[in-house]
A and B are shown apart, each in its own frame.
Chain A
């Protein structure tokens, strides 16, 4: 509904001639690909695009637009880029004009006329479509949202690419009520678009097809390798220019407006259903965030301050000096051409809802949530621009100037394609003995703990090494301990374990205690150990002493942790540890370490398990909507109760031993970069 949503509505409210005009321009842009977007023209806009707090608590709806920015340089080719501009609804409500300030600021005469429409509509509250938009925005912000736009965290990973200018800006909302400040916040870019010829191949009919699912699917699918530049990534010339100052100029300087191609404008008409569905959807945003986070797209909030704020471009505008990281609600404006990548994550089949993730060169991430569609159209726009830049790139290759490569990456989540794996996947090999020794210095200390954890997480452990590595993973031995210290720890822990044992025997002399203990713990333990992994060679056969050891450990654990006692499932978790360590006291302490990370310790409130199931339901809803709907329909999902065991035992019973232990090691025991995990964190 974003590119051409206004046509039916306008047809009611506007003179017939205007409809013809619009239709004509529509036709023009679709068939005559040589007609480029004009400078300052808004090629895309969408209301109620949400930005989340990092924690996922605060969701701020706002108005997002993409504006074409073209800089003509005398004697040279034209630079063009897209400027993304996002204004919180709160700001719009306070100052309806804030929406259009980005469009008005361009000095070029070619600013879009729809801007004018929008202005007058909002001001005189006539019954045009734009009015309904602004009303809905206001409504919505009143409804829901707190104000904070979150954001922007970063890492240093790509700091070597500092030659690119990052033009991200934040303007506190307080100042955004002032239109001058608003303009100051607008990001400036000076890209030139050289060649439009090869773009825009779509048929008019395709363009008019608002759903365009098939088309989208094609457009949207892209690179298999995250950094594969050749095939999909298109390059965009980025050149610095002196013209930014004009952009920062006074809004009034933008007086001459010419008609741009209407077809490229998009005001998504707001409706009551939009609003209500947004409110509905707002409660689910945490899951959306977690999806993004689980793909490791969200960087820790304690990242470095935005280096680029000091760059010359930004310093052009008065408000850029304080751009470091502003978490207060504010306008977000960025030059897409200067970004490292753009990714689209679609949350459903029709590929209209989901997230737009913008990654800056400094690996700052900004996530926009599209709950009410519009993402498909955005994909269209980006696709078009890719084509432009592709053509241009070829030109540049023949030329003498090497352009700065830019990427527009449009990614559709798919497990089959390798696009969604963690960037560090496949970089680590299974931890073998030689590597393991390498991690230790002469005294046996493991100095690079995080690298070890990463190796285990991404590569796994050779089974024969588990006996040595698990005690570290399970906090039995500190990583920095020396051989000597570990020997000491082991002796200490052995004595400590014997004390627990003695305590149990001492308590058992009290018959009342013994009976109580037998009823609440021992009875169940005895029943469970004889049916825990009995097909495993370590526990096979009648009167196997290892089964007795299993029981001893569990009973001692229950004595030492009376508030936890014994819960069915613990024997399943202990069993592999004992198999690997083959020592009662060592296994006990490793089990203690493991239990600290399991969902068992959430007893007796159970809220953790409930929460896990809620997360899973939301993930299903987002990632497998059809399956989710099916589960809803059939009513037999038992509230996903069948997942209960997966979570409780971390998939131990769902896979064969080797696989499940690998899952334990990789998903649970160690390094975990993101938030949502099953049980062991």
Chain B
């Protein structure tokens, strides 16, 4: 955790990771927030939260990262996943054709349940497993292009392109926020956790609750 409780934060963004079971959502977040990797990590039940505060273009951004269960049968959770999310990262496993073919399903669900200005990103994980690769970069890129979203490839295991993906996503969220902010009055953002830098976050706010993962 990079943040200290009194630190000035310019933005707080909620990022949700979705995708099939076992594509590596938890591993990506574990790598990104704790720089740690473990084969056969526990499957996520319900939802996990991870926090990381980063600097992007001289702005301090607190990322509230939601790790969801790939197989979600409890509707109680689903509504909360997408609500107020600034970005949704759809993760698939480049060695699993099945997880790639489910990307469309995930995309549609995310589009339906999220805000219009939510940034969607496609992320192919396990890029280190070249031998068993089932989905080529080109196919994934063309799918992303057809959906008009960005595509990244990463390896949580090798810590390859993980940080870059999150940084790029953060930049997109900041752009979307500013665009949205110009287009609407701040009052329209009541559902958003984004805070403009003119609204410094007090140390006693809720944000500190995320200094550690609550799950």
Contacts and interface: CB of A to CB of B under 8 A. Distances in A.
A569 B76 contact: no
Given A606-B75, A645-B215, A648-B46, A568 B70 contact: yes
B203 interface: no
Contacts of B76: 606, 609-610, 613, 639, 641, 644
Interface stretch (A179-187, A522-530, A616-624): A522-530
A642 B48 CA distance: 7
A604 interface: yes
B148 interface: no
Contacts of B73: 567-568, 603-604, 606
Interface residues of B, number: 28
Interface in A561-618: 567-569, 571-572, 603-604, 606, 609-610, 613
A12 interface: no
A528 B45 contact: no
Interface stretch (A58-66, A548-556, A628-636): A628-636
B206 interface: yes
B214 interface: yes
Interface string B132-159: 0000000000000000000000000000
B46 A645 contact: yes
B74 A609 contact: yes
A644 B80 CA distance: 12
Contacts of B214: 642
B46 A524 contact: no
A427 interface: no
Interface stretch (B36-44, B120-128, B169-177): B36-44
B56 interface: no
B46 A641 contact: yes
Interface string B25-67: 0000000000000001111111101000000000000001000
B178 interface: no
Contact of A638 (B45, B47, B75): B47
A648 B45 contact: yes
Q: Is the interface of A mostly helix, strand, loop or mixed?
A: helix
Interface of B is mostly: loop
A644 B40 contact: no
B73 to A, nearest CB: 5
A491 B44 CA distance: 37
A653 B77 CA distance: 19
Contacts of A531: 40-43
Interface string B185-215: 0000000000000000000011001100011
Given A604-B73, A648-B46, A641 B41 contact: no
Interface in A269-312: none
A534 B41 CA distance: 9
A268 to B, nearest CB: 37
Contacts of B113: none
Given A642-B47, A644-B77, A645-B46, A523 B98 contact: yes
B46 A644 contact: yes
A519 interface: yes
A541 B166 CA distance: 34
B19 interface: no
Question: Range of interface residues on chain A?
Answer: 20 to 34
A497 B69 CA distance: 30
A54 interface: no
A649 B206 contact: no
A572 B45 contact: yes
A527 B22 contact: yes
A635 B49 CA distance: 14
A352 to B, nearest CB: 28
Contacts of B44: 568
Contacts of A638: 47, 49, 80
B175 to A, nearest CB: 25
A604 B73 CA distance: 7
A568 B75 CA distance: 14
Contact of A636 (B40, B41, B206, B215): B206
Contacts of B98: 519, 523
Residue of B21, B80, B210 with most partner-chain A CB within 10 A: B21
A260 B136 CA distance: 93
Contacts of B70: 524, 568
A568 B206 contact: no
A507 to B, nearest CB: 20
A142 B183 CA distance: 51
A528 B47 CA distance: 16
A281 B43 CA distance: 40
B43 A527 contact: yes
A48 B214 CA distance: 41
Which of B21, B74, B209, B210 has the most A CB atoms < 10 Å from its CB? B74
Interface in A7-52: none
A642 B215 contact: yes
Contacts of A613: 76
A524 B72 CA distance: 11
B209 A634 contact: yes
B21 A636 contact: no
A568 B22 contact: no
Interface string A656-675: 00000000000000000000
A648 B46 CA distance: 9
A568 B47 contact: no
B56 to A, nearest CB: 22
Contacts of B47: 638, 641-642, 644
Given A568-B21, A568-B43, A648-B45, A641 B77 contact: yes
A551 to B, nearest CB: 13
Nearest to B215: A642
Contact of A653 (B22, B42, B49, B71): B42
Given A527-B43, A639-B76, A649-B45, A567 B71 contact: yes
B49 to A, nearest CB: 8
Contacts of A603: 73
Contacts of B21: 523-524, 527-528, 568
11 contacts: A519-B98, A524-B70, A531-B41, A532-B42, A567-B71, A638-B47, A641-B46, A641-B80, A644-B47, A645-B46, A648-B46
Given A568-B73, A633-B206, 20 more contacts: A519-B98, A527-B43, A528-B21, A531-B43, A534-B40, A567-B73, A568-B44, A571-B43, A603-B73, A604-B73, A606-B76, A609-B76, A634-B206, A638-B80, A642-B214, A644-B46, A644-B47, A644-B74, A648-B45, A648-B46
Interface of A: 519, 523-524, 527-528, 530-532, 534, 567-569, 571-572, 603-604, 606, 609-610, 613, 633-636, 638-639, 641-642, 644-645, 648-649, 653
User: When A and B form their complex, which 9 residue pairs have the shortest distance between CB atoms, in order from nearest?
Assistant: A634-B206, A644-B46, A527-B22, A531-B40, A645-B45, A645-B46, A568-B71, A606-B75, A524-B21
